[in-house]
Structure 1
Amino acid sequence: MMPLAQWYTDAAGYRRLGLRFDDLIPEENDVVQTALKRLPPKEAYDRVFRIRRAFQCSISHTLLPKEEQTKPEEDVEYLSPIIREVEKEFKERKDLDALIVKRK
């Protein structure tokens, strides 16, 4: 399955624009917004830079030079672990808010 997965990732084309997979996560919900706030400043800056550079490439209908494209070993999760942690916290908070205490 790995060759097929690698082919699919290459066919998606986001690496040719210098993006990582986690850059493609939509920002429209509270969980992702909270996770973005928890990113270290350097990682947050790098993310914004990659998105702006990809947007510029999209407008000009060009791809980045081969040496500036994201390599497979650079395409690691940086936002997804934080999102999973925030989702756990939100679920725990929801469960605690719905907790009913009964006295005997």
Structure 2
Amino acid sequence: MASSYPTLAPFIFKRPWLTNMLRPVANWYGNAAGYRQLGLRADDLIVEENENVIKALKRLPPKEAYDRVYRIRRAFQCSTTHKLLPKSEWTKIEEDVPYLQPLIDQITAEDKERAALDSLTVIKNH
């Protein structure tokens, strides 16, 4: 599995014209999804039941891990009270950058490399 969720991002980012065309749609969708109004970032929504996600969470720097927990708890509190954060506390588009997905991708690559090394066969020349 290349990532924890399916994505067309690599295909789109290789084509600047497509990136420029889809950026407004992506920003609109990010705002319409509602997670930014709760102070969350996109990577906060990645399900933690995957083994690679759990490993990635353990690799987060302490401050980033604390900030993640804070954002999730604050969003849960908002959800419980059926209120959104004040607009000044919404996650801004420029703040909504991946912090967990790169670690997940790194762990996936390490797993693939480990599997490739484990399946190596040594052929002895006589």
Common fold by TM > 0.5: yes
Note the alpha carbon deviations across 1:36-90, whole angstroms, 9 max, x for none: 1000000000000000110111111110011111111111111111111111001
| Aligned counterpart in structure 2 of residue 51 of structure 1, from 72, 91, 110 | 72
* Cross-structure match for 1:38: 59
Distance 2:96 2:81 in 1: 24
* Normalised TM-score (structure 1): 0.95
- AA of the residue aligned to 2:73: R
Three-state SS of the structure 1 residue aligned to 2:84 is coil
Unaligned segments of structure 1, at least 5 residues: none
* Normalised TM-score (structure 2): 0.79
* Cross-structure match for 1:65: 86
- AA of the residue aligned to 2:53: V
Unaligned segments of structure 2, at least 5 residues: 1-21
Three-state SS of the structure 2 residue aligned to 1:62 is coil
- AA of the residue aligned to 1:76: V
* Cross-structure match for 2:4: none
State the percentage of identical aligned residues: 65
Greater Cα offset, 68-77 or 12-21: 68-77
Q: Please tell me whether residue 7 in structure 1 is matched to residue 7 in structure 2.
A: no
Shift of 1:16: 0.2
Aligned length: 104
